[in-house]
Amino acid sequence: MRILGISAFYHDSAAALVEDGRIVAAAQEERFTRKKHDASFPHNAVRYCLDAADAKLREIDHVAFYEKPFLKFERLLETYVALAPRGFRSFRMAIPLWLKEKLFQKSLLRNELREFDEDFGSEKLLFAEHHLSHAASAFYPSPFDKAAVLTMDGVGEWATTSAAIGDGNRLEIFQEIHFPHSLGLLYSAITYYTGFKVNSGEYKVMGLAPYGEPKYAELILDHLIDLKPDGSFRLDISYFDYCTGLTMTNERFAKLFGQPVRSPDQLLTSFHMDVAASIQAVLEEAVLRLTRSLASRSGVRNLCLAGGVALNCVANGKVLRDGRFDRLWIQPAAGDAGGAVGAALAAFHQFKSGPRNIAATDGMSGALLGPEFSQSQIERRLTACGARFAVLDEDDMIEATAKALSDQLAVGWFQGRMEFGPRSLGARSILGDPRPPTMQKNLNLKVKYRESFRPFAPAVLREDVADWFELDSDSPYMLIVADVTKHKRRAMSAEEQSLFGIDKLNITRSEIPAVTHVDYSARIQTVSTETNPRFHRLLTRFKARTGCSVLVNTSFNVRGEPIVCTPEDAFRCFMGNELDVLVVGNCVLRKSEQNPDLKQDYSSAFDLD
């Protein structure tokens, strides 16, 4: 049985194809349209999924959508009625959109899908609840037969947090916390308040947090969120504007913290760092209380996480170290894009009672579920772009890349199937040597064109992870944060210790400073031969040359650009920033050998995120 999953119309639209419970393909629409967080119907992603399965839409048994529009509309209406007459401006903007389009999503989906099959009938359409889609995306691909499942995000229909138990092919949600009380929205409110974009800037708040002190955590707990011992919570919505207005926070919120909302071009001060540290501390406390109560109520020792809040890898690391669960598995596409996978899996296992085959590692194939290009396609496409490249055999290509990296060059690495989810995992990555003290700043400012405070993530050989980090379990999706081991750290002088804020960034804190945050933490990706053999070979080769089995691994894009999808995207990005070397399949391109006329002004090509 083949089921196509779709998430769309809010943000990060995506499609996924599931064949008898096995995830065959999944991709986000933004990668094809080159529009970050593209929310439109995922035509390109659907086409890709069908092609990857060599199927026509008429051969697909069901199409599953990741949420229930009527329930969402009910939430909107009830919120407006409950808070009337406040919220009229928001109502005026939202309702015409719903009446024109969103309320009729079934016909909208049917019409869009008729592009692929003119006889497509709406009887094939299924709708899964938003949090069931998240929970299904977390449990069914996990390597566990039985597990507790926790999903946390901004909001779906009503639920913002849900707890479930997965057992075999059954998944039962037994507790929910409803809108407007939401950990995701609380974090997004601080994201907005500190001057970052909601729905994409949350990572920046998490990255900023280690520079500050959690001075406002008590204030947040006293006024904004009533956090109970079992992890349940209520927000005081009189501080927020998202129920009725067009912003996240209101005047009262700003008064509480004593400063107005930061505008994006305003300098980040220690105040913003302290606010970021405070919300991070509160979030971690809330998540830990939730997981502890879930552990004692469920009695199971495996935990699965999904929903946007599950992308907070610092909190995930604390859950793992808390020890209430033996094993933790997090859906790599934990945000709404992953809802496409979850909806399709829920349709197969829940609705159709399809059996579940549990994969030894997991069912996500290392998240490498996107488009790939053969060597001949790559050569043809790069030639058409005007690229000058050498074609090497695999060993020489690995050797040349490892040498470039050990020469401290920035390398674009494009191999095999594209990743599904927000992280680059060694298929569409920019790689660098983590040892030079200047690498983090150079990559941020010259290659990625993004804020210099943002840390980079390390990719490390799975077998060597415990040598470098205080972690000895799998973290294949870069979703767990742990500290650099003590013997790899460098002691700081008294003068260095007295620095604060972004000044800390320039201090060399370990043998691998480019991936060591100011609090010694690192967002780790473990690389194994099972999921990513070529990347594993590269790391092994780099280790042989340098003694270091860690590489900087950051997404292959510039700030505001979706991660590259095709060899053409990779070449454009390569010619638009200061990457030194690009490796696409077995083709090796050096910047110094390229036609200078093909250089692009890339620094302002995309809207900042």
Partner 1 sequence: MDRASAGAAAGNDERAVLMMDFLVELWRFMRVRKKFWLLPILIMMVVFGGLVVLTEGSAFAPFIYTLF
Residues noted as catalytic: 11
Distance of CA 390 to the CA centre of its chain: 34
Q: In this structure, are strands 327-330 and 302-306 parallel, antiparallel, or unpaired?
A: parallel
**77 vs 502 by CB, closer to partner 1:** 77
Cβ atoms of residues 190 and 279 within 8 Å:
yes
**69 vs 513 by CB, closer to partner 1:** 69
CB of 443 to partner 1, least distance (A): 47
CB of 162 to partner 1, least distance (A): 18
Among 51, 59, 107, 260, binds partner 1 (CB under 8 A): 107
Give the range of 30-38, 101-109, 436-444, 459-467 binding partner 1 by CB under 8 A: 101-109
Binding-site residue total for partner 1 (CB under 8 A)?
18
CB of 72 to partner 1, least distance (A): 12
Q: How far is CA 519 from CA 136, 288, 313, in A?
A: 34, 20, 15
**75 vs 537 by CB, closer to partner 1:** 75
DSSP 512-568: SGGG--TTSEEEEEEE-TTT-HHHHHHHHHHHHHHS--EEEEEESS-TTSPPP-SHH
Taking CB under 8 A as the rule, which mask of x and - marks residues 61-90 in contact with partner 1?
---------xx--x--xx--x------x--
Verify binding: residue 377, partner 1, rule CB under 8 A: no
CB of 78 to partner 1, least distance (A): 8
Verify binding: residue 243, partner 1, rule CB under 8 A: no
- Window 13 to 72, contacts with partner 1 (CB under 8 A): 70-71
Taking CB under 8 A as the rule, which mask of x and - marks residues 119-158 in contact with partner 1?
---x------------------------------------
**100 vs 486 by CB, closer to partner 1:** 100
DSSP 366-419: GGB-S----HHHHHHHHHHHT---EE--HHHHHHHHHHHHHTT--EEEE-SSPB
Q: Which residues contact 558 (CB under 8 A, 6 or more apart)?
A: 447, 448, 449, 450, 573, 576, 577, 602, 603, 605, 606
Give the range of 99-107, 234-242, 291-299, 497-505 binding partner 1 by CB under 8 A: 99-107
HSE-up of residue 504 (Cα within 13 Å, Cβ side) = 25
Q: Euclidean distance between the first and final Cα of the chain, in Å?
A: 39
Phi and psi (nearest 5°) for 582?
-125, 130
Verify binding: residue 174, partner 1, rule CB under 8 A: no
Q: Which residues contact 199 (CB under 8 A, 6 or more apart)?
A: 11, 37, 154, 188
H-helix or E-strand spanning residue 177: strand 170-178
- Rounded CA separation 157/173 (Å): 15
Bridge partners of residue 306, in order along the sequence: 151
Verify binding: residue 355, partner 1, rule CB under 8 A: no
Give the range of 14-22, 96-104, 281-289, 425-433 binding partner 1 by CB under 8 A: 96-104
CB of 246 to partner 1, least distance (A): 17
Verify binding: residue 178, partner 1, rule CB under 8 A: no
For residue 187, count other CB atoms closer than 10 A to its CB.
25
Distance of CA 507 to the CA centre of its chain: 28
- Rounded CA separation 476/362 (Å): 10
Verify binding: residue 95, partner 1, rule CB under 8 A: yes
**85 vs 596 by CB, closer to partner 1:** 85
**121 vs 168 by CB, closer to partner 1:** 121
Strands (DSSP E) contained in 39-108 are 62-65
Verify binding: residue 108, partner 1, rule CB under 8 A: no
Verify binding: residue 486, partner 1, rule CB under 8 A: no
CB of 118 to partner 1, least distance (A): 13
Verify binding: residue 246, partner 1, rule CB under 8 A: no
For residue 193, count other CB atoms closer than 10 A to its CB.
23
- Which residues in this chain contact partner 1 in the complex, by CB under 8 A? 70-71, 74, 77-78, 81, 88, 91-92, 95-96, 99-100, 103-104, 106-107, 122
